[in-house]
Amino acid sequence: MTIPADLKYTKDHEWVRIEGDIATFGITDHAQEALGDIVFVELPEIGRTIDAGEAYAVVESVKAVSDVYAPAAGEVVEVNEDLESEPEKVNSDAYGAGWIARVRMSGDTIELMSDDEYNTFLEE
Amino acid sequence: MSELAKTPLFSEHVAMGGKMVPFAGFEMPVQYKSGALKEYTFVREGGAGIFDITHMGQVRVSGAEALAFLQHVTTNDVSKLADGQVHYSALLNNAGTFIDDITTYRISDTEYYLCINAANRHKDVAHLQGEAKRFDVTVSDESDETTLLALQGAAAQKALQPLVDGDLENIGYYRFAQVVIGGADAIVSRTGYTGEDGFEIYIPNHIAVDVWKQLLANGAEPIGLAARDMLRTEMGYALYGHEISDQVTPVEAKLMWITKLDKGDFIGKSAVEARKAEGPRQRLIALKLTGRGIPREHYRVFADGVDTGEVTSGMFSPMAGGVALAYVKPEHAETAALAIEIRGNKVEAERTTLPFVRSNVRR
């Protein structure tokens, strides 16, 4: 299980990459492994405004439906449309090709952890 | 909540990376390391998947009046069974609704073997033993001593044959043989719940680990509950607690083919006849999503904007997409274009026929 050092993490097992005012969201390796084979991703609409902590996407595995929560507030500016035809990318490359959405941040974030803090959180 | 039971194969599942979950009172593997989709594909594409279904119950019915007793308590016509033959059947209550769906094995005219659902085991056994008082018959619950494995997929016979004395080729579809495996008496039937050729193997607990390991050595791979549910849903097979329950009769559940009203009296018969005459209160249909999404159990079904029923089993089928079994109002049972509500959106679905994917059982 990998936990890249250049990302921030939430207790709900989402990751966020912050570059300027743009934040890229996804779910962690731990999350995808716990969910199992992902067969469907419901993406947010571009232009939608989301609050920090709001459910902005849905990931469905073979057996379960899971909400995905936004680590930061903002307006959705891009979504990973590849996931519509290849949702399994969330399993195979959770931090890369499996990203879910990008938002232009408006300020608020929920409590974010560093890679070390997230690792400790997982071990607790 | 009482402690969960473990099958004799519990440690084998864990050793193979099985993700254990509570299921019908047991800790059972929902999937192994490679994941449910790969397990599913292995079974559908020519492998031999091995499923631990020891959680299911086994009941032996023996005695001079075994046939008369089973005619009384089950819906199918037991008199039509030959020695070595199995059929699908059901136990109904007096209201004509399901206590359980079962399979009945005829060993001889005075000895039968029933396979029942895990969650219903104690209810079924109490019901059967209560009814048995009026017959010269003994009902024995052998579930605790019996390990049940399903071996499913085109390679099943090849994987199992080396373990068995006798030629499996001679066992036809829905037939069984009493054989010796690992020095122990066993029952092997050409039955299953996946739509593939394969066997269900009843063995005593003490040889379970050895048989499991031999099957793996012969190329079989373990399959968890998630892939099992995908395989059975693609076939449209009913599952107790979903398509069948004590809320529906065989008329609603499309199971009149196992309900033989002309065989003489049986528990629930008059209620089923009455329901048949008045017409079903709801109808079980098969749906395929044409829009995007995955139908899930309890999602609402709409016809012409009217809420008409709910999904009883729904999932993503790798071969057929979003598929569902659902109960709808009788007036919408023939409606071609329906919708399933997924998170507030009505996603288009079309009525289709079963199975969702082609069956490969041996006819």
B 225-254 residues with CB < 8 A to A: 226-227, 229-230
- The structural domain count of chain A equals 1
- Which segments within B33-175 are labelled E, that is strand? 49-52, 57-62, 85-92, 98-108, 111-116, 138-141, 146-152
Residues of A with CB under 8 A from a CB of B: 36-37, 39-40, 42, 58, 60, 62-63, 65, 84, 91
Q: Is A121 contained in some domain?
A: no
Q: Does B33 touch chain A (CB under 8 A)?
A: no
Q: Is A91 contained in some domain?
A: yes
Q: Does B23 touch chain A (CB under 8 A)?
A: no
| Cα distances (Å, whole numbers) of residue B261 to B6, B112, B135 | 40, 21, 21
Residues of B in contact with A58 (CB under 8 A): 343
Q: Which of B34, B37, B296 to probe by mutation at the A interface, max A CB count within 10 Å?
A: B37
Closest alpha carbon to B176 in B259, B232, B239, B112: B112
Q: Per DSSP, what are the bridge partners of residue A80?
A: none
Q: Is A93 contained in some domain?
A: yes
Tell me what pLDDT residue B2 has.
65
- What fold is seen in the domain B282-352? Elongation Factor Tu (Ef-tu); domain 3 (2.40.30)
Q: Which residue of A lies nearest to B313 if distances are taken between CA atoms? A: A63
Tell me what pLDDT residue B119 has.
94
User: What average pLDDT does the segment B219-229 reach?
Assistant: 98
Q: Which helix (H) or strand (E) holds B349?
A: strand B345-352
Q: Which helix (H) or strand (E) holds A123?
A: helix A115-123
Q: Enumerate residue ranges in chain A where pLDDT < 50.
A: none
Closest alpha carbon to B118 in B35, B250, B223, B4: B4
Q: Is A118 contained in some domain?
A: no
* Domain CATH for A28: 2.40.50.100
Q: Is A1 contained in some domain?
A: no
Identity of the residue in A40, A42, A63 whose CB atom sits nearest the CB atom of B226:
A63
Q: Indicate the pTM of the whole model.
A: 0.95
Q: Is A2 contained in some domain?
A: no
Question: Which domain covers residue A76, as residue numbers?
Answer: 8-109
* Distance from C-alpha of B112 to C-alpha of B110, rounded to nearest angstrom: 7
Residues of A in contact with B229 (CB under 8 A): 63
Angle between helices B66-73 and B121-132 (to 10 degrees): 120
Tell me what pLDDT residue B14 has.
98
User: Is B200 annotated as belonging to a binding site?
Assistant: yes
Confidence tier at B184 by pLDDT (50, 70, 90): very high
Q: By percentage, how much of chain B surpasses pLDDT 90?
A: 98
Q: For B1-280, which CATH class? A: alpha beta
Residues of A in contact with B31 (CB under 8 A): 36, 62
Q: Are residues B316 and A63, on separate chains, in Cβ contact within 8 Å?
A: no
Q: Are residues A58 and B343, on separate chains, in Cβ contact within 8 Å?
A: yes
Q: Is A122 contained in some domain?
A: no
pLDDT at B139 over 70: yes
Q: Per DSSP, what are the bridge partners of residue A50?
A: A74
pLDDT at B1 over 60: no
* Distance from C-alpha of A87 to C-alpha of B321, rounded to nearest angstrom: 13
Q: Is A116 contained in some domain?
A: no
Q: By percentage, how much of chain B surpasses pLDDT 70?
A: 99
Q: Are residues A65 and B296, on separate chains, in Cβ contact within 8 Å?
A: yes
Domain coordinates in residue numbering, chain B: 1-280, 282-352
pLDDT at B322 over 90: yes
CA–CA min distance A65, chain B (Å): 9
